[in-house]
Chains A and B, each alone.
Chain A
């Protein structure tokens, strides 16, 4: 496999932390009643970002927030054509979604297909009051009419580039990098 990686770090740990704090303030600004919010992360890295965002929100509002985790594997539209065998993991939404404004959290917004799958999954759990989207990195190249409500950083990329988000909880380090060429 070709491995011509020019790595450009576009966010370090401090930038990630600052972005999440700012997004938390934007969420509070838009949602007056914090008790009606549920923060739901999309597995895998969205789960960790959702947890950090929840903690930031709790510090600002003084309220404990409802949290959840969504696994969208079984809703992916490339399940039939994907080259890799998906690993199905558990969804944990142990609250009544119909009573909540959902803030859906993921690491990278790209084509929008992951978010489409997440919206489908939510419909199977009920009818949330609203669904808002919080994204650490928006890299563009949408293939569906989907946009984020809260964005940590917009990073213009070419379709051949790869955006890689690393988080302490999973990767041991917080950073966002853009690679030219294939990632081996």
Chain B
């Protein structure tokens, strides 16, 4: 098994397939902890994890908090609305202060792409990227990959389709990096104005026909339509999007029998996915949430280990 040896997790672009595999294998082991009567191991006892979220989050923040607590770490949540950040303190100054308070790991979410990397360069403690702008959301992609592998037994050689607002999606970018490094064939599907230029250089196929994306797919990852991000007239209207791109039972009739349907949440029911599909037997959406804990436990554990240069 490869050594991890990194203090930070900033994105899947910067990891090798072997390192991604290492995280997934570690997560496999941590999954069992959440099934115990006492859901706790002492691996990070006495360590402090700070969740620094500049953007709203329910799932990711709670998932990181639960993961840290299952490793016996102390967790501090910084609400940017009620902190000195409102008085104009910069991200770097906040990070340096958290370090001066002798915390061990910062989990950061920020609306600026590259924020986590900038912070990681300035502090000695571990930094984990919980989503930075449109750039990456590595732990979401890791739990997506973990879920696919758990359900379908492998990643190598699978056809994975990512459908939705690719242009604004850090989840899509992290998934593409991770899946292609592990040997999957990735197709992105979206209206033309939501396909970022040059994305084919990441080794993906592109289509603007949902049926093409569904037909050969072993797994389909449905992204939330981020209507709040784009107000241009070219942006599709909700009804129009549902009609042309939503994943529905009708469309899944033409899919492989054992296709799995994923969604990073939060779901816009009736826009990118029908309720029938979201709640149906092909959906692994809640499994993704559960797997997020094991994956984040692994990431916290490995990042702290990596900080010690192991």
Contacts and interface: CB of A to CB of B under 8 A. Distances in A.
A89 interface: yes
B42 A120 contact: yes
A85 B32 contact: no
Given A88-B30, A91-B32, A125-B36, A75 B41 contact: yes
Contacts of A92: 32
Interface string A69-105: 0010011000100111111111110000000000000
Report whether over half of chain A's contact residues are helix, strand or loop; otherwise say mixed. Answer: loop
Given A74-B43, A92-B32, 14 more contacts: A74-B41, A79-B43, A85-B3, A85-B5, A85-B310, A86-B305, A87-B1, A90-B29, A90-B32, A120-B42, A124-B37, A124-B38, A124-B41, A125-B36
Contact of B38 (A74, A75, A85, A125): A125
A91 B305 CA distance: 21
Contacts of A87: 1, 26
Of A74, A75, A121, A126, most buried by chain B (CB within 10 Å of CB) is: A74
Interface in B280-310: 298, 301, 305, 310
Interface string A109-150: 000000000001100111000000000000000000000000
27 contacts: A71-B29, A74-B42, A74-B43, A75-B41, A75-B42, A79-B43, A82-B310, A83-B310, A84-B310, A85-B3, A85-B4, A85-B5, A85-B305, A86-B305, A87-B26, A88-B26, A88-B298, A88-B301, A90-B31, A120-B42, A124-B37, A124-B40, A124-B41, A125-B36, A125-B37, A125-B38, A126-B37
B29 A89 contact: yes
Contacts of B298: 88
B28 interface: yes
Interface string A56-75: 00000000000000010011
B58 to A, nearest CB: 28
A95 to B, nearest CB: 13
Contact of A124 (B26, B28, B29, B36): B36
Contacts of B32: 90-92
A88 B42 contact: no
A124 B37 CA distance: 8
B2 to A, nearest CB: 10
Interface in B199-233: none
Interface string B20-36: 00000010111110001
Contacts of B3: 85
B29 A88 contact: yes
A92 B4 CA distance: 25
Contacts of A120: 42
| Closest CB pairs A-B (n = 10) | A74-B41, A85-B310, A74-B43, A88-B29, A124-B38, A90-B29, A90-B32, A89-B29, A88-B26, A85-B305
Nearest to A123: B38
Nearest to B40: A124
A89 B301 CA distance: 13
A85 B31 CA distance: 19
Interface in B37-72: 37-38, 40-43, 71
A124 B38 CA distance: 6
Interface string B266-288: 00000000000000000000000
Contacts of B42: 74-75, 120
Interface string A39-67: 00000000000000000000000000000
Nearest to B71: A74
Contacts of B40: 124
B28 A90 contact: yes
